[in-house]
Structure 1
């Protein structure tokens, strides 16, 4: 459900929606009422750094009905590039806001992703914090390619109003790309590692760190050996891309044939940037 009236900003070859959290939640509520698909995509510094080299990721972002700035660094970059976004709409915060919508409306939710024990803890947490939510079904994220059809049938058969995918890239992108249109679910939101946070497996950065755009540093502090190199490479790459964007804005991406990145200076953006 693409809304051509929604203002967008042209950033790094993508059209990012200039929406607040409240506006995004209102779009989701309308999609549920009208039973129209709203596929929510989010973008952060790490995804921007991988855009050109990862056609699956790129195409999944192009497919989204609404694309939001999940990272504070993207919001800061948008202002530097004179394509200002109003605020960060973090995927995990949106996840919780949408659970609030489901709670108030007694809506049906399907949870897909994480390990079985983590998924069970997420269901328990939802039952305590959002008791009005109806868990239409759930499935852990460790299914094989051969089981994907069965998982899609399970989701469609449970008739949820909202689908949350707590899986990593590119598995969730591949799944939604293959089955999204057939699932019949109005709101589809890939929440990544949010299941782990909600289950208490992973600690989220304090609010002060979030406001400073330093959640990545908090994660590195938790797992320095595993994460320091990843964030060093990603952050440097993102800073370099911001510099390039200042001088020569990236032309709009289009879907990639045969997995090769495609841009065209004459392409019109997905929606007119306002």
Structure 2
């Protein structure tokens, strides 16, 4: 059974294709997340894009996990554009990698501890090294690669209980990432969990990030497709078409 997380914020929420999304800016999200840290209230900090919404429409368990999260951000330009077209506008895209680095900076400033979980061993170690160079007083209490099976989830849980971090950044593919976080929360690990997708690869320098001008024109997704066309073409081109089709149906239904 999926337990609804406690919501500390009083911000409104909208619904797009049966997925709840918080009306929050990036700055407002950081401020709200800190309330969870200060009160040691468990939080699955969720970011949704068109692909996550598409997958949730086919996967009831994933949808349930997403909608129970205490904070759900729009991590996709298409989601923000859809919200405006549906007359329930979201203020901005809250990009996961930017939000992660905001929370890392906050952790150095306020002496919160972090744990890095995911990616290949060399990538997660390099990520820790890069973050320590940028934030010398950052307290990284541990790291672990993302290459382990479900039979090792209890071991991971025991490690995290021992170090008790304020933030756990999880760089593992969906929906395994969501299932793992749900399991770890059920083991009474009251941290802020944040799925960060491929952020470790970008921070470590393993994969370049789109130039700023592409980010500003909401073309970061296109840059990623150019990097990994075989893996991402179907997700973005076909997936976006499905998302647009469903948004049009939603608009008609509203009328």
CA contact (8 A) 1:141 1:167 kept: yes
Under a length normalisation based on structure 1, what TM-score does the superposition of the two structures give?
A: 0.87
The gaps in structure 1 that reach 5 residues or longer are 250-274
Correspondence 1:112 to 2:144: no
Superposition deviation, residue 150 in structure 1: 0.5
Residue of structure 1 equivalent to 2:131: 126
Q: 1:152 to 1:198 in 2, by over 3 A?
A: same
Under a length normalisation based on structure 2, what TM-score does the superposition of the two structures give?
A: 0.93
**Any runs of at least 4 consecutive aligned residues in structure 1 with deviations exceeding 6 A, and if so which?**
none
Q: 2:28 aligns to what SS in structure 1?
A: helix
Q: Which has the higher contact order (CA 8 A, sep 6+)?
A: 1
Superposition deviation, residue 24 in structure 1: 0.6
Q: 2:103 aligns to what SS in structure 1?
A: helix
Instruction: Write out per-residue CA displacement over residues 199-255 of structure 1, whole angstroms, 9 at most, x where no aligned residue.
Output: 111111112212222112111222234332332210110110110111125xxxxxx
CA distance in 2, matches of 1:183, 1:30: 18
CA distance in 2, matches of 1:107, 1:79: 36
The gaps in structure 2 that reach 5 residues or longer are 1-5
Residue of structure 2 equivalent to 1:29: 34
Q: 1:118 to 1:247 in 2, by over 3 A?
A: same
Q: Which structure 2 residues correspond to residues 243-258 of structure 1 after superposition, within 5 A? A: 243-248=248-253
Q: 1:202 to 1:3 in 2, by over 3 A?
A: same
Of 200, 222, 225, the residue aligned with 1:195 is: 200
CA contact (8 A) 1:11 1:83 kept: no
Residue of structure 2 equivalent to 1:257: none
Q: 1:102 to 1:225 in 2, by over 3 A?
A: same
Root mean square deviation of aligned Cα: 1.4
Superposition deviation, residue 183 in structure 1: 4.3
Of 226, 233, 237, the residue aligned with 1:228 is: 233
Residue of structure 2 equivalent to 1:263: none
Of 68, 72, 77, the residue aligned with 1:72 is: 77
